[in-house]
Amino acid sequence: MRQGVLAAAAGVIAQSASAQSMGTVAYSPLASQSVPTLSEWALIAMAAVLTACAYRTMKRQGHAALKVLAAGLLACAAFVGAQWSAPALAVMGPAEVVLDQAAGGIGHLPHKTALFFGDRFYVYTVQNTTSQPQRITALTPATGGQFKVPTGYSPQCTVGLILQANEVCYLRLYNASMPS
């Protein structure tokens, strides 16, 4: 009976510890920005230059050069349209901290047992799962925790870092004196 009570108490304690946040990552969306492009003016200029070149080629060399040019364009179009290989899709493991609110918010660092045994640190993967860029605005460890440089992981999550859609960054949390 006593062992059953102890096991139940240990389960409740472990469950409450696993729900405990080890820190937070605050984030907000970037203001929308226009992207400068040459757009239709560059296309018009390129078409004018190409038209002038085609006209001069036809005037000088006749139709033979035009046939070679047409055959070359046809070959290029065939090669561009061919799929040489299937696209490779890399799938990364699940992120521990997901930035999933397009309007910004707070991501919580989940409890990890590695923080309380051995080296007492854990490297979290933070991923922006929204469709727009997010800026990390604050990193706050739980009491007794310290953020360290995640050796061997890049990029490091820092305040001000901008994560594009589906990009990740890494955050190393060290347990200096966190209560378990």
Does this model's pTM top 0.75? My answer is no
Cβ atoms 173, 145 nearer than 8 A:
yes
* Percent of the chain clearing pLDDT 90 (strictly above): 33
**Least confident stretch, 19-28, 88-97, 124-133:** 88-97
Cβ atoms 129, 164 nearer than 8 A:
no
Residue 91: what pLDDT? 61
Residue 80: what pLDDT? 67
**Least confident stretch, 47-51, 89-93, 146-150:** 89-93
Cβ atoms 125, 170 nearer than 8 A:
yes
How far apart CA 111 and CA 109 sit, in angstroms, is 7
Domain borders along the chain are 17-33+94-175, 39-81
pLDDT at 9 over 50: no
Within 8 A by CB and 6+ apart from 93, the residues are: 125
In angstroms and rounded to an integer, the radius of gyration of the C-alpha atoms of the chain is: 29
Q: In the structure, how many helices (H) and strands (E) does the chain have?
A: 3, 8
